[in-house]
Amino acid sequence: MRVEADCIPCYLKQGISTLRIAGIPDKEISKTINNVLGIISELSLDGVPGYNSTIVLKKIYDMIGIVDPYKKAKIQWNDYALGQYGLFCKLVEESDDRLHKAFKIAVAGNIIDMGITPDFDVALAMNEITDREFDLDDYNELKSMLEESKNVMIIGDNSGEIVFDMVLVEELKRLGLNVIYSVKGGPMLNDSTMEDAIQVGLTSICEVVDTGNDLLGVVFEKSSPKFMEAFQKADVIISKGQANFESLEGDKRAGDKTFFVLRAKCPLVAKCLGVNFGDIVLKRNRS
Amino acid sequence: MRVEADCIPCYLKQGISTLRIAGIPDKEISKTINNVLGIISELSLDGVPGYNSTIVLKKIYDMIGIVDPYKKAKIQWNDYALGQYGLFCKLVEESDDRLHKAFKIAVAGNIIDMGITPDFDVALAMNEITDREFDLDDYNELKSMLEESKNVMIIGDNSGEIVFDMVLVEELKRLGLNVIYSVKGGPMLNDSTMEDAIQVGLTSICEVVDTGNDLLGVVFEKSSPKFMEAFQKADVIISKGQANFESLEGDKRAGDKTFFVLRAKCPLVAKCLGVNFGDIVLKRNRS
C-alpha cells in the first residue's frame, strides 16, 4: 500500500497523540509538531505510510528525549488484557470451531488503540468476538492451508493485543503446528516488543523473535537474519494490524502464504482492502 | 477560541479537500500539501483556527491558480437547498413556535459540509429539524431580547446553508425586525458570497452586506465599514457556524448580544462549547 495525501495530516495526528501520552504540555506540542513539518515535506510520496510515520515519530522521540513514550501505557494494556485472558479461553472452549473463535479474538485485540478509551475498547472488542463475523473472511482457505503446514509465523502488532493473540498461538499449537511470534526490535508507538512478550508470558508458550528494528510494519531490508529466516521458513504467515498490512500488501515476498488479520481503522486501508471503514478482515494476500 | 496542536493536521485536511474539489490529481495534491508545510510552521500559536486555515488555503488557491475551487459545488448546494425551501416553509407554518422552528432549520443548514455526501446530509438535516432539540438552548433568552430589539444581524456561513437561513430571515421580519445578513467579500471554501445571496434570492428579502474580506470567521480589523456599522448597530447578532464562533467567542466586541447557532463538527469547538462532538447549539455569548 502506497502513501496518499491523506497520510500527511495523519503523521501529525500520530505525533500529537504520542506527545500527549508522553505528558508534554499543549503549547510545547504545537511547537514540536511545527518543528517536524520540514521532515514531512521530504518524505517519499511513493513509500509505505507506516515507514513515513516511523521517520516522523523517531524525530519526535529524539526531540523530547524520551526513548519509549508509551512504556507505561503498554504495561497497563497488557495487564488489562491479561485480566480478560480467562474469558478468551472460555470462549474458545465453548466454541464449535475453536480456531475460528481464536481468530475472532485475535482481530478483537486489534481494536486496542491508545487513542480510544479503555471502556469503549472493552465493549467493542467483546462485541467483535461474540456477535460479529469477519467482513472479509478467507478462513476456509487459511484452515485448509494450515492442515498441510508445519511452521506458522504470526507478525505481532500492539501491546495488549499480544495477549489476545496468545489464544491463537495456543490453538495453532493444538493443531500440531510450530508457531513463531514476532515483536519489534525496539519501542515504536504501542507496538509490542520482547518486554511485552515476557510480561504476558508469551515467551513461555512459543518462540518469540524480534524484527531487529523499531520500524512500523515489516521492513525486510532492516530485518534481522533470525526474523527473515522465520519468515521464509513459515508455510503460513499471519499478519496482524494495519502497519504490517501496509508494508506486506503488494510485496512479492509476502506471497499468497500471508493472511492479514486486522480492523480497518483508516479510510485508505479500508479502500485498499475493498471494505468499509471499521470492518474486520481475515484476508489472504494475492501476490 | 485559540488554536491547539490538533488544528495543524486539520489545516492540511481542509487543504486536501479543497484540492480534490478543484480536481487536482492525487499525486499533485501530495506535492502541493508538502509545499505549504513551511507556511504552517510559521502560523501563530495564539491565533484563531479559522484565520490560520485561511492563510493556508489562500496559499493553495494561489499555487493551483484557481480563484474559487468551490464555485460549481456552491451553485449545486444552493440549488439543492432551494429545492427544499417549500418544505422548510411548511414546517414553520405547521409549528407551534414558528421562530424556534426557524432556528432549528437554520442549525440544520449548518450540517451542510462539502466533505459529506448529499444523501447523508438530507437525512441528517431533516432529522435535526423534526426530531432533535438543541443540546444547548438559550432560545428563551434570545426570544426575550428580540422582543425588545429593532435591528438583527445574521453572520452567514456556507452556501446551501444560506437558503436554510432565509426561513429565519422571514420569521425575524414577521416580528417587525430589521434584518441584515452578511456574506463573505470573496471566495473562501464554500462560504457564501454575494453571488450566493443573489442566486438564492436573499437580496430581494433583506439587506445583504459583505464582510469586505475573504477570511474565514469574523476578522474585525479587515472588515468593511458597512459590515462594522451593521454589527455595531445590531441589537442582536446571530452567528452561524464554527468559523464565526471561533473568531467571535471571547472577543469583547461580540458582547452578550451575540448568539451562536451551529453544529459542533470539530472536537475542539465541542470542548470549547462544553458539548459533545456533533451536538447542535443555540448559545448566547458570555462576554
When CB atoms are compared, the residue of B5, B16, B34 closest to A33 is B5
User: What residues in chain A have their Cβ under 8 A from chain B's Cβ atoms?
Assistant: 3-6, 8-10, 12-13, 16, 19, 26-27, 29-31, 33-35, 37-38, 40-41, 45
- pLDDT for res B117: 45
Check residue B47 and give its pLDDT.
84
- Say what percent of chain B tops pLDDT 90: 83
The answer to whether residues A156 and A181 touch, using CB atoms and an 8 Å cutoff, is: yes
Banded pLDDT at A117 (limits 50, 70, 90): very low
Residue-wise pLDDT for A232-258, tens only, equals 999 999 999 999 999 999 899 999 999
Q: Looking at domain A71-284, what is its CATH homologous superfamily?
A: Uncharacterised protein PF01937, DUF89, domain 3 (3.40.50.10880)
User: Chain B: residue nearest A35 by CA?
Assistant: B41
**What residue in A sits closest to B19 (Cα-Cα)?**
A5
DSSP letter at B86 equals: H
Distance from C-alpha of A147 to C-alpha of A165, rounded to nearest angstrom: 20
Rounded to the nearest angstrom, the minimum Cα separation between B24 and chain A is 12
Q: What is the mean pLDDT of each run of 10 residues along chain B (287 residues)?
A: 90 93 92 93 87 94 95 93 93 96 94 56 75 94 97 97 97 98 96 98 98 96 97 98 94 96 92 93 92
Mean of pLDDT values over A108-124: 66
Q: Produce one character per residue of B237-257: b if its CB has 16 or more CB atoms within 10 Å, e if not.
A: bbbbbbbbbbbbbeeeebeeb
Is B37–A38 a contact, with Cβ atoms under 8 angstroms apart? yes
Q: Are strands A280-284 and B258-263 parallel, antiparallel or unpaired?
A: unpaired
Average the pLDDT over A119-126 and give the result: 68
Whether the per-residue pLDDT at A4 is higher than 80: the answer is: yes
Question: Which pLDDT belongs to residue B118?
Answer: 46
Confidence at A210, pLDDT banded by 50, 70, 90: very high
Task: Give tens-digit pLDDT for A148-207.
Answer: 999 999 999 999 999 999 999 999 999 999 999 999 999 999 999 999 999 999 999 999
> How far is the C-alpha of B135 from the C-alpha of B139, rounded, in Å?
11
- Cβ of A37 and B33 within 8 Å? no
Residue B120: the pLDDT is 55
Helix (H, G, I), strand (E, B) or coil at B111: coil
Residue % of chain A over a pLDDT of 70: 97
- Asked if B4's CB is within 8 angstroms of A9's CB, the reply is no
For B276, the grid coordinates are 459533545
Q: Do B6 and A16 touch (CB under 8 A)?
A: yes
Interface pTM, i.e. ipTM: 0.85
Nearest to B34 by CA among A61, A7, A53: A7
- A12/B16 touch (CB, cutoff 8 Å), yes or no: no
